[in-house]
Amino acid sequence: MTSPAPNIRPAPPIIRQLDEAAINRIAAGEVVERPASAVKELVENAIDAGARRVEVAYAQGGKGLIRVTDDGWGMAPGDLPLALSRHATSKIDGSDLLDIRSFGFRGEALPSLGAVGRLTITSRRDGAEAARIAVTGGAAGPVTPAALNRGTVVELRDLFFATPARLKFLRSDRAEAQAIGDVVKRLALAEPFIGFTLRDMSDGGEGRVIFRADAQTGDLFDALYGRVVAVMGRDFAENALKIEAEREGFALTGFAALPTYSRGAAVAQFFFVNGRPVRDKQLIGALRAAYMDVLSRDRHPAAALFIDCDPHLVDVNVHPAKAEVRFREPGIVRGLIVSALRHALAGAGHRASSTVAGATLGAMRPEPSGPPRVYQMDRPSPRALSLSYAAQAPAAPEAPLAEGFAEPSARFETAAPAPEAEALPLGAARAQLHENYIIAQTERGMVIVDQHAAHERLVYEKLKRQMAERGIAAQALLIPEIVELSEGDIARLMEHEADLTRMGLTVEPFGPGAIAVRETPALLGEVDAGALIRDILDELADQGDSQTLQARLDAILSRVACHGSIRSGRRMRADEMNALLREMEATPLSGQCNHGRPTYVELKLSDIERLFGRT
């Protein structure tokens, strides 16, 4: 590599005005990252136009074709050229950029798409003739007559043909199609009263329907429930808790799943702010904090949550893609989510997800062994009954077990419990298997309880209540630990001084650029105060709030509960087993252990009979 001569200065760069086509292609890089981004912008335009039905079709993962058809208001012929101009929009008048009540408002989507692809818009407004306009690589053609009954059809072909370098960064057709499906499903959740259809046209013809969600009716929660079934599945809907709360101008509604219905990744988390789908790390952190006490770190909750507020309390003009928002009072929103979800989870009591029983039945299902057995006599004769009773009668005392064979680890209760016990949710204890599993009989089936996991949760909840009532004991350090921090970190930490003191961590400024840690929670024992403070600061910077200290205290209580609970292998009397069942029914969150695993499995009698072909 050669360097220029040191005494020869290069010519200074010249400031020039970029042409309109280059400006649109640059803007497209911010607005249209991939085919799914184009689908998002076009479907949002259709929703803003008052559409009741929206159909999305694509081919080759959206690279070859994207077509969005709606039955909205449409546009007049004279509006089509203006719609392709930058910053031309019907959504706002520009007088108040905080009063945003529509999906779109920037006026960038259509000119950006026309700059990087072959865009055709066909539209008709009531009382006007249908018209069409085409734009290729930023060059718009004339407005021509067209045939269309109502609404708008936007067709985008050869996306990024004008910027071939962008094509190299796109993923496979399958991955891009999956991203399009995710976008349509999020928008379908946001608008349950609008019907959505998604088609894959890659093989030609009418294509195949990938996703369909018919418009819902009824009140908001009924409509939202129906749309949740279509988008997130019936299993989620059946195991979700209704969320409804309000605080200081913010309203939270939606559904959140039970802890035992968790996922291996954060793929079932949907957030909406004033109806707009968003991916906000602060909201994700609040959801995680709400489930912190009932899920292990490798599991993720499932939820569809809607936050509604005055538009002036949230800024949606943060990013061109409008996927991020900024709240004026982020602490209120976070507190609302955490408290509402924890209240709903506590109100669920001992309930566990129905998918646990389904997985159990699937594991127990016998292998097929020929044609199904046919029972020809549902009502056997008295002679057959007497013979069957004789065959089931206790045999003579058996010889002792041969050496090397152990007695089966099961104990059965000979005295029947009170009949009313079977009417209770967890029924009446009937047996204990392998000194770890309690078998209880209910009116509609049976319950299998993991005695150690169940009692661990009960002890844990009791310890938390005691800590909340008596406070967290703090131990004073003989020599305060000095932690050097920047002035910004000190200011951020001192904003939360009262909360830290309540949890047993006392800090105070110590001259410029340092703080003194004078007390730490006694429950933690010997602790590296500097590392703890830095962990708290990292979480404050990332999420605006910190659960690090609370999480460590809860982890200690969880370990204490584990060691103080009924151990596996301990034989329990009938009254002890029934007392454990009654306490589970009265304790919130007893349906899962401290790590989110189920503490019991309920099997319906009809399901058990189906296992044996008795249906």
The predicted pLDDT at position 412 comes to 56
Query: 288-312 burial, b for 16+ CB within 10 Å, e for fewer?
Result: bbbbbbbbeeebbbbbbbbbebeee
Residue with tokens 């800090």: 507
188 and 296 both lie in a single domain: no
The predicted pLDDT at position 94 comes to 57
pLDDT at 305 over 90: yes
Q: Closest Cα partner for 328 from 343, 316, 341?
A: 316
Say which amino acid occupies 218.
Answer: G
489 and 553 both lie in a single domain: yes
Q: Choose the final residue of a domain: 193, 213, 233.
A: 213
52 and 131 both lie in a single domain: yes
Confidence of residue 402 (pLDDT cuts 50, 70, 90): very low
Q: Is residue 605 part of a domain?
A: yes
522 and 425 both lie in a single domain: yes
pLDDT 10s digits, 196-239: 999 999 988 888 999 999 999 888 889 999 999 999 998 898 88
199 and 245 both lie in a single domain: no
The predicted pLDDT at position 401 comes to 46
Confidence of residue 252 (pLDDT cuts 50, 70, 90): very high
Q: Is residue 1 part of a domain?
A: no
- The CA-to-CA distance between both ends of the chain, in Å, stands at 82
Q: Closest Cα partner for 455 from 301, 609, 313, 561?
A: 561
Q: Choose the final residue of a domain: 184, 213, 242.
A: 213
The predicted pLDDT at position 25 comes to 64
How many CB atoms within 10 Å of residue 476?
10
Q: Is residue 124 part of a domain?
A: yes
| CATH label of the domain that carries residue 126 | 3.30.565.10
In the DSSP assignment, the letter for residue 565 is S
Q: Closest Cα partner for 358 from 603, 593, 613, 595?
A: 603
199 and 93 both lie in a single domain: yes
pLDDT 10s digits, 516-555: 999 888 877 787 888 888 888 887 776 666 667 777 777 7
Query: Average pLDDT for residues 492-504, to the nearest whole number?
Result: 84
315/416: higher pLDDT: 315
Q: Is residue 302 part of a domain?
A: yes
pLDDT 10s digits, 574-602: 888 999 999 988 888 888 887 778 888 88
66 and 87 both lie in a single domain: yes
Say which amino acid occupies 507.
Answer: V
Confidence of residue 376 (pLDDT cuts 50, 70, 90): very low
Q: Is residue 155 part of a domain?
A: yes
At 19, list the tokens: 């042409």
199 and 297 both lie in a single domain: no
pLDDT at 10 over 60: yes
144 and 28 both lie in a single domain: yes
Confidence of residue 365 (pLDDT cuts 50, 70, 90): low
- Please answer whether residues 21 and 115 qualify as being in contact, where contact means their C-beta atoms are separated by less than 8 angstroms: yes
Domain that holds residue 295: 220-348
439 and 586 both lie in a single domain: yes
Q: Choose the final residue of a domain: 175, 198, 213.
A: 213
Q: What total of structural domains would you count in the chain?
A: 3
pLDDT at 564 over 80: no
Q: Is residue 153 part of a domain?
A: yes
Query: Of 61-75, 121-135, 460-474, where does mean pLDDT reach its minimum?
Result: 460-474
Residue with tokens 């006392």: 506
Q: Is residue 383 part of a domain?
A: no
Query: Of 141-155, 411-425, 484-498, where does mean pLDDT reach its minimum?
Result: 411-425
Say which amino acid occupies 417.
Answer: P
pLDDT at 137 over 70: yes
The predicted pLDDT at position 377 comes to 44
pLDDT at 82 over 50: yes
Query: Average pLDDT for residues 328-336, to the nearest whole number?
Result: 89
In the DSSP assignment, the letter for residue 200 is E
How many CB atoms within 10 Å of residue 150?
14
Confidence of residue 345 (pLDDT cuts 50, 70, 90): confident
Percentage of the chain modeled with pLDDT above 70: 79
431 and 564 both lie in a single domain: yes
The SS3 call for residue 593 is coil
The SS3 call for residue 160 is coil
Query: Average pLDDT for residues 228-251, to the nearest whole number?
Result: 92
- Beta carbons within 8 Å of 289's beta carbon, 6+ residues apart: 334, 338, 545, 547
| CATH label of the domain that carries residue 290 | 3.30.230.10
pLDDT 10s digits, 83-110: 888 766 666 655 556 666 667 666 678 8
Phi and psi at residue 307, to the nearest 5°:
-110, 125
Q: Provide the sign of the torsion angle of the four alpha carbons 386, 391, 394, 397, taken in this order.
A: positive
Q: What is the CA radius of gyration of the chain?
A: 32
146 and 275 both lie in a single domain: no
Q: Spell out the alpha helix ranges (H) of 293-381.
A: 330-347, 354-364
pLDDT at 394 over 60: no
| CATH label of the domain that carries residue 429 | 3.30.1540.20
The predicted pLDDT at position 166 comes to 79
The predicted pLDDT at position 70 comes to 95
Q: Is residue 384 part of a domain?
A: no
